[in-house]
Amino acid sequence: MAFKDSLYKSLCRITNGNATKEPEELCCYAYDATGRIFMPDAVVFPCSTFEVSRILELASMEKVPVIPRGSGSGMTGGSLAVQGGIVMAMSRMNHILEIDCDNLIARVEPGVVTGEFHKAVEKKGLFYPPDPASSAFCTLGGNLGECAGGPRAVKYGVTRDYVMGLEAVVPSGAVIHTGVRTAKGVAGYDLTRLIVGSEGTLAVVTQATLKLVPLPESVKTMAVLFPAIDLAASTVCAIIKESVVPRCVEFLDKSSIDCVRGQFGFNVPGDIQAILIIEVDGSQMVAEQDAGKVKSFCLRKGAADVIIASGQKQAAELWSARKSLSTALFRLAPDKINEDIVVPLDRIPEMVKRIQDIQKRTGLSIVSFGHAGDGNIHCNIMYHKKNPQEQMLAESAMDELFSHTLELGGTITGEHGVGITKMKYLPKEVGESEMEIMRGIKKVFDPENILNPGKIFV
Amino acid sequence: MAFKDSLYKSLCRITNGNATKEPEELCCYAYDATGRIFMPDAVVFPCSTFEVSRILELASMEKVPVIPRGSGSGMTGGSLAVQGGIVMAMSRMNHILEIDCDNLIARVEPGVVTGEFHKAVEKKGLFYPPDPASSAFCTLGGNLGECAGGPRAVKYGVTRDYVMGLEAVVPSGAVIHTGVRTAKGVAGYDLTRLIVGSEGTLAVVTQATLKLVPLPESVKTMAVLFPAIDLAASTVCAIIKESVVPRCVEFLDKSSIDCVRGQFGFNVPGDIQAILIIEVDGSQMVAEQDAGKVKSFCLRKGAADVIIASGQKQAAELWSARKSLSTALFRLAPDKINEDIVVPLDRIPEMVKRIQDIQKRTGLSIVSFGHAGDGNIHCNIMYHKKNPQEQMLAESAMDELFSHTLELGGTITGEHGVGITKMKYLPKEVGESEMEIMRGIKKVFDPENILNPGKIFV
């Protein structure tokens, strides 16, 4: 369907000229971290709830897709214009409206970069735990859409646990307010958590009230080196059972270590098969005590070495190695399928074994790292897309991976969402009755199916 | 509409005779903690998901209301058969199916008594924080329906924060599975948290997977006595800002103190105007340190005395005084309107002042106590229902109370739900667009409006 010129003119009028349909500009909003490309017909940059409302109202009338977009760092295609239409870039709505130190809450617009928000609240002695690896450039709006997690979820939970209320615009253009500014609230159905994680298919969030916690006085970061992968895997579950709840337990397998070997800030001996990056926090005294407990526990479990970062610099180096992994993987092969499966903690050893089996069977490099402390393993199947046989093998590996995950009581997506890449696998996990209810809910919010169509549901 | 005999026979057949329509039995299921009475036509006691499914399927076909019921301790009429029909008592589905110490989760049926569940997990060194005052008799199913909170929400959050997944039956009879057994999961819309807090209007929960945390090694309970109510109110917000996050901060005003004066286990001087019951937890060392910090902080803020419970016995006495308050109030007047308003922490002093003003204006006893640490104040308007003038005054006091709450950025219900008692006030807080969406969602789950009809929505 051709994109009407009159529609474009209306978008320009509503946003005071903050819209574009120049191909060289559109292509900047045509991709995300999946590497797939879908050209939108136009991009619009609203600067207020009122503008978002008028754009959605117009799009509903014209039955044109609207795709809300943060910074396009999503892993499953959530911000791609798969059916063309209008990409709604939230980059101008990037204000931290309030940091309320008395009530430990903040009010933000969706375009605020997550890492900037971290800095702003930490300056005031407060803490916003959700911390996706892309925090340097991803936005809070994107985090809300996907219910982002990150490494600190072990102790602190995910985005959903920090959203108290929302202002959002539904496709009709109506502005809705959900939730509260208080710790408790049960007035009516929980629309807040229904919109969080709905991947921009139900409403466009224009403001969020977020919960903050006091900034822990001290953080201790350590790298635990294991001579065997199964030792690392079984240690993850055991640590938490021992009643120290670390804030992070990150896992890196041998291939991951090889990809970032020079970047840890210390020498990793060649026979090390897995590393856990563990972080504990609390008062100075508690953090030190817990770090000591974790260290001696890991050594008892068979760790070859435990290196406690001596200060912030060494800790930052360690995290930088971990956070650069996702891109460093391309040293192994030009293409990857990146899945964020989750299994119950005690099934991690079995899952790691099964991943190794898939690797053996297919001959592909499969690199596993991620948030082991909550069972969330980022499993990267590396291959050459242009080689049809590798492509086929990679897809069969993914199929198998999901089957094993579900068999072990897990989920096919811990924090990346379904988007377009997992659409066809969703029915493996979610039954038809549940899908029917979800489709029904989608229809309640978006009867014309204009908001981020072609996502989640096959 | 007459209740068909054939329908009753079918209920008996489905449940193997576990149904009744004897008036003397029905009346046991006709009331809840609101004191209102609505006779159901029948009560049925399913013992399995399969039976729940067949009952709902039948009721949908016959268009007869089904009202799920835990132990009837709800404060807003959620389990009352306001339109007659079938009360579905979940008391036979009362099994703890699994306590998984490796993954820190439990699987339970809805009829498990909350306090029994606490004991069972604590025996294994684990902890389930949600702790409504009725925990000795209320059920987990009821807690899920209302999204119950309780005093420990300050540090640990509410029921919603501990539900990972559900098995539930929707009115058509379809059995659905929502959520996960893992810490993270974003496969599709968040039906889990949509059903939690929906007051039994969307689905009947037949099984829940609950998150547990390690049991804190040590708990310190203390009573802080204040010579003026505003000192107590302003201390609540200040404590948390000072970066000790207690697990409970309970507030008792002068009238509350008077109602349970003999029960604290220590003498409360007559000039004490308010008490805070504060609890901190953690390792032995942390709990002791934090208790010391809180004590000296409160004394600096003007507390007259701080009594740290010397052991479990003294702590239990203190809690027993607090937990018996709700019934002890009837010493003041035979009837009460009990509201669980919440305001942002820093507005508590202002709210307390406004409640005193309402008391002065109406001449009624208004007793305030509750979970001040999360802004949740249980405000009890005591009156004589049989005195029409007092009845009118009480209702106008409630109106005013809600208006002040909303004006201060709060919510009309923190944990009791809307039910029937707050139905007419809900539109004060929730806008028409939001209500429209909620009604739409209700219709998706329950097109025939048979599941707990006449609740939440006017």
Is the pLDDT score of B404 beyond 80?
yes
Joined tokens for residue B274: 């308010």
Distance CA B454, CA B423 (A): 9
A236 found inside a domain:
yes
**Which of B8-12, B311-315, B317-321 tops mean pLDDT?**
B8-12
Note whether B409 and B306 are same-domain residues: no
| Closest CB from A182, A191, A410 relative to B182 | A410
Full domain range(s) for residue B33: 5-89
Q: Which of A423-432, B7-16, B322-331 has the lowest mean pLDDT?
A: B322-331
| Number of domains making up chain A | 4
> Which pLDDT belongs to residue A392?
95
Note whether A207 and A304 are same-domain residues: no
More confident residue, B323 or B222: B222
> Which pLDDT belongs to residue B1?
58
A451 found inside a domain:
no
Is the pLDDT score of A243 beyond 70?
no
Last residue of a domain, one of A60, A89, A118: A89
> Which pLDDT belongs to residue B441?
98
- Interchain proximity B189–A198, CB inside 8 Å: yes
CB-based contacts of A185, cutoff 8 Å, min separation 6: A164, A165, A179, B342, B411, B413, B414
Note whether A261 and A368 are same-domain residues: no
Note whether B280 and B367 are same-domain residues: no
> Which pLDDT belongs to residue B243?
62
Note whether B174 and B107 are same-domain residues: yes
Q: What is the DSSP letter of B411?
A: B
For residue A230, what pLDDT band results from cuts at 50, 70 and 90? very high
Note whether B248 and B294 are same-domain residues: yes
B144 found inside a domain:
yes
Tens digit of each residue's pLDDT (9 = 90 or more) over A353-363? 999 999 999 99
Note whether A111 and A189 are same-domain residues: yes
Closest CA of chain A from B24, distance in Å: 34
Chain A CB contacts of B416 under 8 Å are: 186
CATH number at residue B402: 3.30.70.2740
For residue B323, what pLDDT band results from cuts at 50, 70 and 90? confident
Distance CA B141, CA A426 (A): 28
Note whether B56 and B120 are same-domain residues: no
Chain B CB contacts of A371 under 8 Å are: 184
> Which pLDDT belongs to residue A355?
95
CATH number at residue B177: 3.30.465.10
Establish if A441 touches chain B: CB-CB under 8 angstroms.
Answer: yes
Joined tokens for residue A14: 């509503």
Establish if B147 touches chain A: CB-CB under 8 angstroms.
Answer: yes
Chain B CB contacts of A155 under 8 Å are: none
> Which pLDDT belongs to residue A39?
97
Question: At A162, which amino acid appears?
Answer: Y
Closest CA of chain A from B166, distance in Å: 12
> Which pLDDT belongs to residue A323?
86
Residue of B nearest to A151 (CA): B184
Q: Where are the alpha helices (DSSP H) in B27-95?
A: 49-62
Is the pLDDT score of B203 beyond 80?
yes
Q: Which of B99, B189, B406, B444 to mutate to test the interface with A (most CBs of A within 10 A)?
A: B189
Last residue of a domain, one of B326, B356, B389: B326
Establish if A214 touches chain B: CB-CB under 8 angstroms.
Answer: yes
Distance CA A84, CA A41 (A): 6
More confident residue, B285 or B85: B85
Establish if A189 touches chain B: CB-CB under 8 angstroms.
Answer: yes
A452 found inside a domain:
no
- Interchain proximity A102–B345, CB inside 8 Å: yes
Closest CA of chain B from A206, distance in Å: 15
Tens digit of each residue's pLDDT (9 = 90 or more) over A372-408? 999 999 999 999 999 999 999 999 999 999 999 999 9
- Interchain proximity A445–B437, CB inside 8 Å: yes
Q: What is the DSSP letter of B281?
A: E
This model of the complex carries an ipTM of 0.96
Tens digit of each residue's pLDDT (9 = 90 or more) over B61-113? 999 999 999 999 999 999 999 999 999 999 999 999 999 999 999 999 999 99
Chain A CB contacts of B171 under 8 Å are: none
CB-based contacts of B145, cutoff 8 Å, min separation 6: B68, B70, B78, B196, B197, B198, B199, B200, B205, B417
Chain A CB contacts of B214 under 8 Å are: 240, 243, 245
Q: What mean pLDDT is reported for chain B?
A: 95
A352 found inside a domain:
yes
Chain A CB contacts of B283 under 8 Å are: 286, 289
Mean pLDDT of B296-310: 96
Q: Which of A104, A177, A182 to mutate to test the interface with B (most CBs of B within 10 A)?
A: A182
Tens digit of each residue's pLDDT (9 = 90 or more) over B118-155? 999 999 999 999 999 899 999 999 999 999 999 999 99
Establish if A198 touches chain B: CB-CB under 8 angstroms.
Answer: yes
Is the pLDDT score of A180 beyond 80?
yes
Establish if A186 touches chain B: CB-CB under 8 angstroms.
Answer: yes
Mean pLDDT of A326-348: 91
Last residue of a domain, one of A214, A231, A247: A214
Establish if B237 touches chain A: CB-CB under 8 angstroms.
Answer: yes
User: Is residue B6 exposed (0-12), middle (13-18) or buried (19+ Cβ within 10 Å)?
Assistant: exposed
> Which pLDDT belongs to residue A11?
98
Note whether A171 and A196 are same-domain residues: yes
Note whether A205 and A227 are same-domain residues: no
B 120-139 residues with CB < 8 A to A: 125
> Which pLDDT belongs to residue A324?
87
CB-based contacts of A440, cutoff 8 Å, min separation 6: B444, B445
- Interchain proximity B186–A414, CB inside 8 Å: yes
Joined tokens for residue B106: 């439990």
Note whether B262 and B357 are same-domain residues: no
> Which pLDDT belongs to residue B400?
95
Tens digit of each residue's pLDDT (9 = 90 or more) over A54-67? 999 999 999 999 99
Note whether B53 and B77 are same-domain residues: yes
CATH number at residue A27: 3.30.43.10
Joined tokens for residue B211: 């998150």
Residue of B nearest to A191 (CA): B194
A449 found inside a domain:
no
A28 found inside a domain:
yes
- Interchain proximity A197–B190, CB inside 8 Å: yes
Mean pLDDT of A37-50: 98
> Which pLDDT belongs to residue A1?
58
Question: At B387, which amino acid appears?
Answer: N
A340 found inside a domain:
yes
Q: What is the pTM of this model?
A: 0.96
State the Cα angle at B287 between B285 and B292, rounded to 5°.
95
> Which pLDDT belongs to residue A183?
86
Chain B CB contacts of A105 under 8 Å are: 344
